[in-house]
């Protein structure tokens, strides 16, 4: 038997918090004697199950569930941040994948190189992609090529919506594991990128979380309308969000299933692969992959074997590769050959049977983490209405922080130019005062007294130097001052309506992006 300490019950708050395990402190246990009433007998199997659940919850919630703001798991965030540090911008060249993975595990995410490489492959294959990959980056039934063969850089989407330099200045940072560098607590996402990364909830201790992916256009439309003050309920979200599977499946779910998913965060989406019926040849061509039924070699073989058993089917086989004639945009072709002498009615019946076999439903449950600097991360199950409401609040605060920072910078620049203009317009007084000022014990104080200006302004003038001031033109300074005053007025208006400003920024960036979008790994523009 194993004895465990009985603790006082903790008041439930509706938010599940799991703190990371801490190293045991060395203490004099004789000062804290345990009586019989402080312990209880627990069976070894029950204790083990409980301990595994706690540990599994910690691992999943802190490593495997994305933050609600940038939609990224720590491994994905480390990949993107490493690429920022390596200067892998969309306008530049790629570097070997191994170079990025080396930085990831050496600086920010000290786990296996394979797990980091797999995480990188995930965000290469999102739609839109977060990383632009060159070389073999895998498919549902093919692993990515070795990292020494492939290359990558930041996608246009990531550069515009996840790692914008201005917004990176207003997010919190945390030290890396070795305390010799920093990385963002979360990236300043300008769209709810969680909704572009689909994941099937994997069996795990404590937590199972995952969600379908949606199209960029539909997510943008909802977010812009919400930032502009429109309220959405589950039915409206179901009507507005368009499911978009990264490997070509079509959403054939019942309307009621999608409404339930939006309302509860828990439900199923039914997918159908791309399928064509060639009546004349008596063949059925399946031209994309699908979760569970056509997602890996084992599932593919089982599905094709089941199709082969349908009466009237001669053969069912797979042809893979983007260069295969008749293959779909995802490099998939599954051919069902029927007997040539069957009737049209029987061919239609076989087609319906094939569709029933390859159609698949995936159960999802929306789960997120809220990453914190000085506290334990929080894990929450949400519905989609709650999630988008929370994300819009985050996005509004992010925009307000940017406005406040830009206001501070503009005010500092305005003050600087106003001091320069004062110096130019009072150059005679300045030159007259300088001989005594420059030999004074405190030149800043002496000039401030001579010109009757604040000491800080006197320091600005002396730091700039008279020769540099003389080259400045009063007209140009006045024009710059006018521009800064207009900018500050606009920023003051934006500070009162940060959500509306965020909506305009989002709409503008998405429109620009869609004029020159990334291409998916299948060669299809977003």
Q: Which residues are catalytic?
A: 149
Q: How far is CA 147 from CA 28, 102, 121, 127, 151, in A?
A: 51, 10, 10, 22, 8
Q: Torsions phi, psi of 271, nearest 5?
A: -115, 145
Tokens of 14: 């509706």
CB atoms within 10 A of CB 117: 23
Q: Which of 342, 29, 51 is nearest to 205 (CA)?
A: 51
Cα 276 to the center of its chain, rounded Å? 35
Query: Torsion angle, CA of 305/309/315/319, rounded to 10 degrees?
Result: -30
> Which tokens sit at 325?
């004639």
Find all residues with CB under 8 Å of 413, minimum gap 6, and list them: 484
Q: Which of 252, 227, 466 is nearest to 359 (CA)?
A: 252
**What 8-state DSSP symbol labels residue 181?**
-
Q: Which helix (H) or strand (E) holds 361?
A: strand 360-365
Residue 107 DSSP one-character state? I
Q: Which residues of 197-229 are buried (b: 16+ CB within 10 A; e: fewer)?
A: bbbebeebbbbbbbbbbbbbebbbbbbbebbee
Q: How far apart are CA 9 and CA 13, in angstroms?
A: 12
Strands (DSSP E) along 366-482, which ranges? 367-370, 378-381
């Amino acid at each position: 038997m194993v004895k465990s300490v009985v603790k006082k019950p903790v008041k439930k708050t509706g938010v599940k918090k799991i703190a990371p395990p801490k190293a045991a402190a060395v203490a004099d246990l004789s000062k804290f004697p345990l009586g019989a009433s402080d312990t209880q007998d627990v069976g070894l199997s029950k204790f083990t199950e409980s301990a595994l659940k706690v540990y599994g919850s910690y691992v999943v919630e802190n490593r495997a569930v994305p933050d609600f703001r940038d939609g990224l798991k720590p491994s994905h965030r480390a990949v993107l941040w490493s690429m920022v540090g390596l200067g892998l911008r969309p306008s530049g060249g790629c570097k070997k994948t191994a170079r990025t993975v080396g930085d990831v595990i050496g600086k920010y995410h000290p786990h296996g190189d394979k797990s980091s490489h797999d995480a990188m492959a995930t965000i290469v294959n999102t739609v839109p992609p977060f990383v632009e990959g060159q070389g073999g980056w895998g498919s549902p039934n093919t692993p990515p090529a070795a990292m020494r063969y492939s290359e990558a850089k930041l996608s246009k989407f990531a550069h515009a919506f996840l790692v914008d330099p201005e917004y990176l200045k207003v997010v919190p940072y945390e030290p890396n594991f070795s305390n010799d560098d920093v990385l963002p607590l979360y990236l300043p996402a300008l769209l709810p990128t969680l909704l572009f990364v689909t994941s099937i909830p994997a069996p795990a201790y404590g937590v199972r979380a995952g969600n379908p992916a949606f199209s960029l256009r539909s997510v943008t439309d909802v977010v812009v309308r919400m930032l502009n003050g429109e309220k959405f309920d589950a039915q409206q979200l179901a009507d507005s969000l368009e499911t978009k599977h990264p490997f070509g499946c079509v959403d054939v779910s019942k309307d009621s299933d999608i409404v339930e998913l939006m309302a509860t965060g828990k439900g199923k989406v039914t997918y159908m692969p791309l399928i064509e019926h060639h009546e004349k040849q008596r063949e059925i061509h399946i031209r994309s992959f699908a979760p569970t039924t056509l997602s890996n070699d084992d599932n593919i073989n089982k599905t094709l074997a089941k199709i082969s058993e349908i009466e009237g089917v001669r053969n069912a086989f797979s042809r893979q590769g983007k260069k295969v004639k008749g293959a779909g945009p995802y490099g998939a072709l599954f051919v069902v050959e029927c007997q040539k002498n069957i009737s049209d009615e029987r061919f239609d019946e076989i087609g319906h049977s094939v569709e029933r076999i390859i159609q698949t439903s995936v159960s999802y449950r929306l789960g997120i983490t809220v990453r914190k600097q000085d506290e334990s991360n929080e894990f929450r199950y949400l519905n989609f209405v709650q999630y988008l409401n929370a994300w819009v609040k985050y996005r509004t605060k992010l925009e307000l922080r940017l406005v406040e920072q830009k206001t501070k910078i503009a005010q500092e620049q305005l003050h600087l130019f106003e001091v320069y203009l004062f110096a130019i317009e009072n150059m005679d007084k300045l030159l007259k005062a300088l001989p005594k000022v420059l030999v004074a014990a405190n030149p800043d104080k002496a000039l401030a007294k001579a010109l009757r200006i604040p000491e800080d302004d006197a320091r600005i003038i002396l730091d700039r130097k008279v020769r540099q001031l003389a080259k400045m033109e009063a007209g140009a300074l006045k024009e710059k001052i006018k521009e800064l005053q207009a900018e500050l007025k606009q920023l003051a208006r934006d500070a009162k309506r940060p959500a509306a400003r965020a909506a305009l920024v989002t709409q503008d960036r998405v429109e620009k992006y869609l004029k020159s979008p990334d291409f998916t790994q299948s060669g299809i523009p977003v």
